[in-house]
Structure 1
């Protein structure tokens, strides 16, 4: 299981929303071996006054927060991060200083979906990749 929260200034994030979602999803499919029809993205649009950015970033600054079940290897998570930088920065002309990524993991038993906990459910994909 993985969900993505995407934060950015509304006027800059909204116009790239669909393309950004496609690029993020392609990285998740490739790095985490997710099924193509499995996507859970949430966009959080902030006003400039509510989104303080680092001095090294522009107003196009975006934060990606991945919430995942534990189980992926360090190499898999690094592959995801590197693919995100490569594809997002290239395909959306976003500077690498305008993108920050955080992966947050929790045990499968802490997840609930389809009426079960994550350690009880049979998934159509592997978590331990």
Structure 2
């Protein structure tokens, strides 16, 4: 699950493009299948979104929730790919992007009526 926050006037016009870029990075770095897109966009009023000094109104926060298992190198590669591809394809500078990866053990995930540690039919590998 990925949650993306930004000021609505800046986030809404680029949602589809940003979604594609994020999913492309998840696919290329983590090996997620093309049909495994779980994203939520939270467009905020400017007065509801405080961000650090030195950033612009394009400031965007990306929270990536995933099961534990990826290596440090893989997570760093994902973050760097996101910075690079979002700047290249969407035009948001890295200074205006904040990325957080939140990991939970597989038993803390629930989907399709089971917990993540019970799933034996995932079409991707978590331990990469």
1:1-129 → structure 2 map (5 Å cutoff): 3-122=1-120, 123-129=122-128
CA distance in 1, matches of 2:63, 2:7: 15
CA distance in 2, matches of 1:53, 1:59: 9
For residue 29 of structure 1, give the secondary structure of its aligned residue in structure 2: helix
CA distance in 1, matches of 2:101, 2:92: 20
**Structure 1 residue ranges, 4+ long, deviating more than 2 angstroms after superposition:** none
How big is the alpha-carbon RMSD for the aligned residues of Structure 1 and Structure 2? 0.5
**Unmatched 5+ residue regions in structure 2?**
none
CA displacement, residues 70-125 of structure 1 (integer Å, 9 cap, x when unaligned): 00000000010000000001111111111000000000000000000000012111
CA distance in 1, matches of 2:108, 2:93: 35
Per the normalisation by structure 2, the TM-score is 0.98
Aligned length: 127
For residue 29 of structure 2, give the secondary structure of its aligned residue in structure 1: helix
For residue 59 of structure 1, give the secondary structure of its aligned residue in structure 2: coil
